[in-house]
Chains A and B, each alone.
Chain A
Amino acid sequence: MKRISRRDFLKLVGGGSAAAAVGAMLPQVGFLTPASKQAFTFRAVAGLPEGVLPSYASYVVQGGVNLATQTGVITKNLFAGPPEAASTFALPGLARIVRVNTVREVGSTLEILGTVDDPSVLLKGESSRVQIKVDKSAGTVRTPFIDEEIELKLE
């Protein structure tokens, strides 16, 4: 598998300086969509904090994977504002670009394993290895925010 550097990747996607910019450029097709037999794109959102308090921010995970090549790029961002009124302002220090290492299809679920492209941005308790579970039938995505697993809704 050919690996690309962060610099090459950013060049590839248009020279963006953060995953926020990358995320904005990725396809937003709403639901897991077969772009081809082996390629999938998705976008999922959850309001944070979870629980009884009103959401302050929107956790957005989106990207594309290729089952055949086991590759892909997924971005994680935290945008100011709740999901129903989210802004385009990404809170600083929380954008992550995840390079996909493995994609496994188990029933209706895609189990994606990847690595955070730039480990220097990681926070205390946050792992550079990222698992993302896309459950097509449930319409959910499960992946950590820092060290807490969050359930996001596929759009």
Chain B
Amino acid sequence: MADHLDSPGLTSPGMDARVDITDHFAFQKPGDQSKSILIMNVNPLARASAFNPDAIYEILIDTDADALPNVAFKINFADVNGGQLATVRRAADSLALGRNLTGDIIFQNAPVSFSSTPTISQSGDFKFFAGLRSDPFFFDLLAFLNGLKFTSPGTDFFIKANVFGMALEVPNSALGSNSNIGVWVRCLIPENGDFTQIDRMGRPAINTVFMHGKEKTMFNRAQPNTDVARFTDDIVAVLEQFGYSSSQAGSLAAVLLPDILTYNFSSSSGFLNGRRLTDDVIDIELGLVTNGAITTDGVGAHIDYLSDFPYLGTPH
């Protein structure tokens, strides 16, 4: 539930898990500080059997702290002979803003992996993977739903779950010259002759924890550069319920919005600097949101992550 199933309303006219973002990650490549790993996962519990060939999956990079993308990695898929092939583009500057398939092609016809063995494509300094993998997320969802009654140890709801992942290994030079960047992901689907943003994610669980009801869908469709104006009150209201003063809640909201994962690619440290697969983001956020009343959900990182690209574990 980092972002799993965060907006069932996005499914009209029919639920489409293929464009339901579950998580994204950004971290320095282990053993190589000149590269970064960007991962975007969709399709919670792998309910759908493939990527949506009509959608555009984007990993967006803000290099100048204005909450607008300066670089976009745009991924789309084609159904071919019972399988799928991916195309990955890198769009920069004004092209990064567009809701379309523009930019320089980095990978074309990269095969999607549906089996346990990941097929990795390489193009210059870039690597790419797309396909079925083990969901790296860990959380005691049932204890959360059962009134935040966490136990030690807890029960990891996602321990046997799968997702569809897209992983990119990129040279840091492809992320801009400023090492302090912001990263977020979104899914676009065709609607009325254009592409509409149907889901997005920056930091884990922001939409899940702070947005009520149909506002979740509004949040998913909003752009980060409007977050502060539109959603600060929602975050402040929840934080105040946990004992924060208005002033404290406002200060925290200013950190949480815009909903972008801040990442310094010259550093190998983890969340809040980017996010590694093993980072216990839920423990960090539980402590933050509950004002220290709850500090852990009692579950930890999975042990099935790979030591090399694409890092996501073998599917169950």
Q: Do A and B bind each other?
A: yes
Residues of A within 8 A of B (CB): 48-57, 78, 80-82, 84-89, 91-92, 94, 123-124, 145-148
CB-based contact B214/A85 at 8 Å: yes
Whole-angstrom CA separation of A145 from B211 in the bound complex: 23
CB-based contact A82/B213 at 8 Å: yes
The stretch of B1-9, B71-79, B83-91, B130-138 that contacts the partner chain: B1-9
Query: Cβ of B213: which chain A residues have Cβ within 8 Å of it?
Result: 54-55, 82, 84-85
Please list 12 pairs of residues, one from A and one from B, whose beta carbons are closer than 8 Å in the complex, sorted by A's number.
A49-B145, A49-B147, A52-B242, A54-B208, A55-B212, A78-B145, A85-B214, A86-B8, A92-B45, A94-B142, A145-B146, A148-B147
Whole-angstrom CA separation of A50 from B77 in the bound complex: 40
Chain B, Cβ-Cβ closest to A53? B209
Whole-angstrom CA separation of A78 from B8 in the bound complex: 13
The residues in B between 30 and 57 inclusive whose CB is less than 8 angstroms from any CB of A are 45, 47
Distance (Å) between the CB of A150 and the closest chain B CB? 9
Query: Cβ of B216: which chain A residues have Cβ within 8 Å of it?
Result: 54, 82, 85
Distance (Å) between the CB of A54 and the closest chain B CB? 4
Whole-angstrom CA separation of A88 from B69 in the bound complex: 34
Task: Kindly state whether residue B238 has any CB partner on chain A within 8 Å.
Answer: yes
Query: Cβ of B146: which chain A residues have Cβ within 8 Å of it?
Result: 48-49, 145-148
Task: Kindly state whether residue B11 has any CB partner on chain A within 8 Å.
Answer: yes
CB-based contact A89/B15 at 8 Å: yes
CB-based contact B147/A87 at 8 Å: no
Given known pairs A89-B15, A148-B146, the reply for A80 and B214 (CB within 8 Å) is no
Whole-angstrom CA separation of A146 from B150 in the bound complex: 13
Query: Cβ of B147: which chain A residues have Cβ within 8 Å of it?
Result: 49-51, 148
Given known pairs A49-B147, A146-B146, the reply for A89 and B8 (CB within 8 Å) is yes
Given known pairs A53-B238, A85-B214, the reply for A124 and B155 (CB within 8 Å) is yes
Whole-angstrom CA separation of A51 from B141 in the bound complex: 16
Give the interface size class of chain B.
Answer: 20 to 34
Whole-angstrom CA separation of A109 from B203 in the bound complex: 46
Q: Which of A50, A82, A124 has the most CB of B within 10 A?
A: A82
Query: Cβ of A84: which chain B residues have Cβ within 8 Å of it?
Result: 213-214
Q: A145: which of B11, B47, B145, B217 is its contact (CB, 8 Å)?
A: B145
Task: Kindly state whether residue B149 has any CB partner on chain A within 8 Å.
Answer: yes
CB-based contact A52/B241 at 8 Å: yes
The residues in B between 250 and 273 inclusive whose CB is less than 8 angstroms from any CB of A are none
The residues in B between 205 and 247 inclusive whose CB is less than 8 angstroms from any CB of A are 208-214, 216-217, 238, 241-242
Whole-angstrom CA separation of A147 from B155 in the bound complex: 15
Distance (Å) between the CB of B301 and the closest chain A CB? 22
Distance (Å) between the CB of A142 and the closest chain B CB? 14
Q: Which of A51, A86, A89, A92 has the most CB of B within 10 A?
A: A89
Query: Cβ of A146: which chain B residues have Cβ within 8 Å of it?
Result: 142, 146
Query: Cβ of B145: which chain A residues have Cβ within 8 Å of it?
Result: 48-49, 56-57, 78, 145
CB-based contact B8/A81 at 8 Å: yes
Query: Cβ of A49: which chain B residues have Cβ within 8 Å of it?
Result: 144-148
Whole-angstrom CA separation of A56 from B213 in the bound complex: 9
Whole-angstrom CA separation of A86 from B148 in the bound complex: 21
Query: Cβ of B141: which chain A residues have Cβ within 8 Å of it?
Result: 91
Distance (Å) between the CB of A115 and the closest chain B CB? 21
